[in-house]
Structure 1
Amino acid sequence: MSLKASAAAITALALSSGAAGAVTFQGEFWDTGSLSGIADAEAAILSSPTALFTSSGIDYPNGDRNTFPSATTTVEQFLGVDGASLTGSNATPFETSVFRFTGQIYLSGGAQTFSVSSDDGFWLDVDGIRVAEFASNRGFRTTTVVDSSFTAGFYDFELVYWENTGSGGIEAALNGATLEPVPLPASLSLALAGFAGLGVAARRRARRRA
């Protein structure tokens, strides 16, 4: 691979929604029929999503547990400040729908406390391992799990949440803080800077040879 291609590949990795350098999580939305539990949500996400969006943090609607959206709330309204990023059907009511959030999170190692509050159900996978779930419909409640099996590092995650009918909401927290995208690791920042510097040097040598 050429130096230019290598630099481009690393830059693409850093800017991709699933990479550690992402400033947002990738969000997907499916407009479905009635959902009775986890099996219905699993079936729904096998199809193409109705809309895509970016998530600045999994805390909807707007972190206010005392103000739940109504049945007529659209998915754009439900996403609040992140609604502007929605591409697809932004006027669809958020009832009978499935949301999926993916990206990377950083775990510091040792005991990690995962908390997911939802109306209705959800599942949370970290590196393909099921950390927590609530497999049926419920009013807004919190599921908390303490897991000590992860060493320090960056991990891929997937959070799938579904809303059947009525009010709804989803909030995810790691060690008491809202689950938000992680910044670009310093080591990767240095690698990008290094490749950029090598690219400049290569262009200078090419000009001198010309």
Structure 2
Amino acid sequence: MSLQNQRVVVLGGTSGIGLATARLAADQGATVIVASSNPESVKRALEALPDSASGEAVDLTDSAAVAAFFNGIEPFDHLVFTAGEALTLLEIDSLDLDKARRAFELRYFAALGAVSAAASKIRPGGSVVLTTGAAGDRPGPGWSVAASICGAIDSAVRALALELAPIRVNAVKPGVVRTPLWRGGLDYDETARQLPVQRVGEPEDIASAYVYLMNQPYSTGSIVSVDGGHVLV
């Protein structure tokens, strides 16, 4: 299977997992369009992608900007949403509800808004791949907000798979990955020792799951875990 002659839009596709997914899709022959809120990040991503790629700075929490972005591009085959901010743990006894709402704004509501704006542009046989996380299945102290976002995405995937059929809707559920979103908040070496695979994930590990779901024509409403065995320990 390959993505030859297909068009893939990756929101959050300018760094980390999103950029790795964009690169792998391009390696399989796709024309890639990436978007994120930072113009400099978009510029750097395009330098790392083939000349056929294009990109745009878009505030993904601004529904009007997202609608304008999709109105301005040609029909495409696959939508991938990997956008997120640096992870912040929120203890319940000192919970900052404003921070909690902001976390939901990008990781959940922006994803839902992007699907709404993009659905009519997705060509027959196409798909949506969202991003959830292992925290939804195995949270720790301080993870109530992050785990709730993951649970919301998990449920949305199943509902959207029915509502948007025959467009396929799936999600990838990463564990700990060596990306800027985790930087400064985790001891990678200690985490690696606790995992059955004895290492943390790399963006390329996770990217292969997104590309698998784009290529898999008989999968919808599914969530693929790529967590190094996080939920087992």
User: Which TM bucket (shorter chain)?
Assistant: under 0.3
**CA radius of gyration, larger in:** 1
**Higher relative strand content:** 1
Greater relative contact order structure (CA < 8 Å, 6+ sep) = 1
Q: Name the TM-score, length of structure 1 as normaliser.
A: 0.28
**Higher relative helix content:** 2
